[in-house]
Structure 1
């Protein structure tokens, strides 16, 4: 089946429900909304039960086969959702996915959710088998140039009309975090008069959105200001910010640093590499400064730590996400590990 963009999914679901869906990409909001649409369409078609599986290195792929072959006691049709962040099922998992793709169970809907799939994965046998048998929704990042239009469409879908300078203000404020944009739009729905969003209203909402913001946190850490980064992290926690939102912003920065570092190592100019990674011009000096401090091996270690925190947030690891976020932020700022000195640092002021 041809690949779909997220904006094409709704129309496709009204025509025909596929037996397998693959949703891949690195935009959490769009990934979640695509999955929500698929689940809603499935429920309308009688898939009233849902089984959820999180894939890691210890995952027993036999569970998927058992789920596919078992009859439900409570429903005739069920959704089998497989969350596979790395997009790498391993040899056993790949064979099982190939086997399932060859003869999907008619009373099951298989939903596979992954991060962006690399070139090697897209050449694998399991991927080709799944893609041939599935509807693949590929979620691409919204670029800085596309962001104002994306915000404008989102506002219109919410029944709001905004001045272009108001849209540009929000775009510059959220710097690519679509989840943050969606949250700001929800606030605007409550505050708008006659569904109009002026620059003044947008400015007031943006100013009041948070005393401690996620982007300020990442900037302070990248700058190497550990004390300020810790204070901001504490503020975000106190204000009730979800740890997954903090982790999203941090992980995005780490991935950008890795992408730029690899491109520069291959002889590319820093400015070109930064643009390809979606780094705004005004933030490029900050990124360049961080790359002088953080070496490639350290960046890979930071990404592994971020993946571990993601599992803790999802309940797949017995760990406190906020404690590990503190450790991660300190590492980015140049403090190597969480120890008593760092704990004292976090408690001051």
Structure 2
């Protein structure tokens, strides 16, 4: 996992060439910052840190920099952004690169330079000679979106880096409450580790108390209360959101989005799609699909259709000023409560 590369960087064991690519910007940015903090001292960075956009600068210029001896320091650190020539994409820039010079450098990189290729591309073109050669030479970080198992491993590893243990039930709860954004997850784990400084252990109760909820996660909890027909508890969450100055129209939009997701997951599952396939089709994280699937089986199709219709009506009323915005969501929840009572007298 990414922690292996990070541990090597922190141990001052640097590769001459790094290749960072993928769609998870947090992993790429964190790796860059670790390199800056560990390869160079603060004073050395003024003279020996360079960054090039390869859409604007030819590779020759960057390599000349890499081959220049460091000034008042042991190493140079050079970031090369947007190496489109490693992908199957067509470059929008008219910049031409002398790839034969790059090939020569990869065969014999300067021992005093750390060169970092950084791309946000999901995939590189492994058919290209230069891509194959770079992958053979470089220390590689594929910054892909983490699946549920990897996210849980991330939480455990991050806790361990902070010198604390974490209960498995707390791992599950943190992921449910904080979501799948690595930046948010990292901040929450670091915060919990500080809170657990005395006990050196993060448990479920601590996570429940300390983890910040995003609007989306609060809405998920609200919908979950609706799923289990706990309308009074759903109303309490709604009132808490209003106290946090969340706009009713935004709250309604997120509630609608969650119910639509539940409906889509239910329908696609009926057609035989697995959760990974559904995630790919809807372009969302598989963990969100798993949570929605857990809620979907609690509703009949007609119920979901009726709820989405109620939400559409509330949205229309809210946008046309037909009723007080705060009351519209209350009315929606009360109507759900009356429907639940009819089903379960």
Q: Which TM-score bucket, shorter chain as reference?
A: 0.5 to 0.7
Q: 1:99 to 1:28 in 2, by over 3 A?
A: same
Checking the alignment, whether the CA contact within 8 Å between 2:58 and 2:98 is kept in structure 1 is no
Q: 1:162 to 1:7 in 2, by over 3 A?
A: closer
1:54 alignment counterpart: 53
1:176 alignment counterpart: 180
1:110 pairs with one of 115, 140, 147: 115
Task: State the 1:79 CA deviation.
Answer: 0.8
2:4 alignment counterpart: 8
- Structure 2 CA distance, aligned partners of 1:70 and 1:133? 20
Q: 1:134 to 1:169 in 2, by over 3 A?
A: same
TM (norm. structure 1) is: 0.55
Once the two structures are superposed, residues 265-321 of structure 1 have per-residue CA deviations (whole angstroms, 9 ceiling, x without a partner) of xx99474512456252334799xxxxxxxxxxxxxxxxxxxxxxxxxxxxxxxxxxx
Aligned residues between the structures: 247
Residue 281 of structure 1 pairs with residue 290 of structure 2: yes
Q: Give the SS at the match of 1:122.
A: coil
Once the two structures are superposed, residues 67-125 of structure 1 have per-residue CA deviations (whole angstroms, 9 ceiling, x without a partner) of 23445554453111112276549583471533432332333221112235425x12212
1:23 alignment counterpart: 20
Q: 1:47 to 1:94 in 2, by over 3 A?
A: farther
- Structure 2 CA distance, aligned partners of 1:123 and 1:50? 32
Task: State the 1:21 CA deviation.
Answer: 1.3
Checking the alignment, whether the CA contact within 8 Å between 2:170 and 2:203 is kept in structure 1 is yes
Checking the alignment, whether the CA contact within 8 Å between 1:98 and 1:125 is kept in structure 2 is no
Q: Give the SS at the match of 2:176.
A: helix
- Structure 1 CA distance, aligned partners of 2:153 and 2:290? 19
Task: State the 1:20 CA deviation.
Answer: 1.1
Task: State the 1:182 CA deviation.
Answer: 0.7
Q: Give the SS at the match of 1:18.
A: coil
Matches within 5 A, 1:283-298: 283=292
Matches within 5 A, 1:14-163: 14=11, 17-43=14-40, 49-56=48-55, 58-75=56-73, 77-84=75-82, 88=87, 90=91, 92-93=96-97, 95=99, 96-118=101-123, 121-163=125-167
Gaps of 5+ in 2: 221-240, 247-260, 296-324, 327-345
2:206 alignment counterpart: 201
Q: 1:167 to 1:133 in 2, by over 3 A?
A: closer
Checking the alignment, whether the CA contact within 8 Å between 1:274 and 1:284 is kept in structure 2 is no
Checking the alignment, whether the CA contact within 8 Å between 1:85 and 1:115 is kept in structure 2 is no
